[in-house]
Amino acid sequence: MRNHQVSDPDAVGKCGSGALRERAMTEQLRRAPLKSTPRPRDRKQRIVEVAGHLFYRHGFHNVSTSQIAAEVGITAGALYRHFKGKQDLLSHALTDGFDQATRFVLEGSPEDLGEVITGIATTAGERRYMGVLWNREARFLDDEARTAMRARFFTFIDEFSRQLRSARPDLSAGQADLLTWAALAVLTSPSYHSTELEPDDIIDMLERMALAVCTTSLTGSDDGAEPQPVPTVVGLRPHGRREAILAAATPLIHQFGYQAVSMEDVGESVGISGAAVYKYFAKKSDLLSAVIARASEPLQLGASRALGRARDSAEGVTNLLDAYIEFALVHHDLVGILVAEVTNLPEEHRRQVRRSQHDYVAEWIRLVRETRPQIEERRARFLVHAVLTVVNDVTRTDHLRRRRSVEQDLQIMCRRILDVTL
């Protein structure tokens, strides 16, 4: 689907009245000046930042308060004078980012939406760990802290959506909601790769990509129409015991997280004991490895088919995008596991999965650079990861995945990101 694709905002008028409206909106929003966000440097803030980065790199369960204290250069006792423990640190790391981003939204106005986006992009650029902490680690907060954090998150979503709809009266409530989630996915996408750019360049790229999403003209509205129904038929479970275990483990790990799911839980869902599960998987990590291998196989096969049908690089990008959207809509639970659970794999298998993911992204980057040779590899990587994160986040969010136009919406938004002017 290549409707509304624009390689240069200055050429957008060639595409018709809808594109002219996109151009005018983009130019209006980009007039806002860049605002720097001051970063406090007191010890408490330093501890929060170090904890956030360590949780990001190694996972919440694999980091101790002693490690955090040593990284800061203080004793564990000194750390406990500021924080109750790891959960408190994780809560502060998330709260810090959410509260600052929400302030930009609440203090802004529809006329200054570009400035609001710049402020949020600055927050996201300075805290690259935010996306991973929210998607992978926030589930390990206790119930009270997790409820408070979700309230903060949805306050941000609701206020940003309100701002966006005020700036763009042409949007329905459902469209504004979708664009808000997609823009947030763009802003948090640097969490999922380590490509380095100058800090100001990262913020500029995030701003431009988020603006491309926020100024997208969606072709249809789901408002007033019934969303796609949740399937009521679970389907047949594989007869083979090993396959049945894998089929049962996948939704459990996706919903509750690898650390929270026991072999007994998996066995119970299949109708066997936890001890019986160990006959097929000697360790719980072996079960996770098998689930992730199952996720990687259809993804790679889909990419191979997409490339095999392409006549040139531009068609290759389109085919890859369509194939990934189709995969994520069907296998959203596997996408969630790929996003959140790879750090729990044994080291050797983790390296293999990372290599496979790197190779997959490299195909995207190669094709993007062949279609836009003026873009350096590092910037192409930011574009590709923004697209993949938008697809991942939208398809893993139940009410967005059930939009009747979700596949077409994703195609249009992602083409806008890939075609953004840098």
Over 60: is that where the pLDDT of 35 sits? no
pLDDT band (50, 70, 90) for residue 343: confident
Query: In the predicted model, what is the mean pLDDT of the chain?
Result: 85
What pLDDT is attached to residue 43?
A: 87
Is the pLDDT assigned to residue 361 strictly greater than 90? yes
Kind and range of the H or E element at 25? Answer: helix 17-30
pLDDT mean over 325-341? 92
Given a cut of 50, whether residue 201 has pLDDT beyond it is yes
pLDDT at 3 over 70: no
pLDDT at 26 over 60: no
For residue 72 the two structure tokens come to: 């800061």
Name which of 48, 37, 195 is nearest 122 in CA terms. Answer: 37
- 229 phi and psi, to 5 degrees? -70, 150
**How far out from the chain centre does Cα 396 lie?**
9
Closest residue by Cα to residue 189 from 42, 396, 387, 50:
387
Average pLDDT over residues 270-283: 93
Task: Decide: pTM greater than 0.75.
Answer: yes
Q: Degrees (nearest 5) of the Cα angle 60, 63, 66?
A: 140
Average pLDDT over residues 28-40: 42
Mean predicted confidence (pLDDT) in 269-282: 93
Instruction: Report the residue count for the chain.
Output: 422
Q: How confident is the model at residue 126 (pLDDT cuts 50, 70, 90)?
A: confident
- Rounded to an integer, what distance in angstroms lies between the CA atom of residue 23 and that of residue 27? 6
Sign of the torsion angle spanned by Cα atoms 268, 270, 272, 273: negative
Provide the CB-side half-sphere exposure for 132 (13 A, CA).
Answer: 23
pLDDT in tens, 385-418: 999 999 999 999 999 999 999 999 999 999 999 9
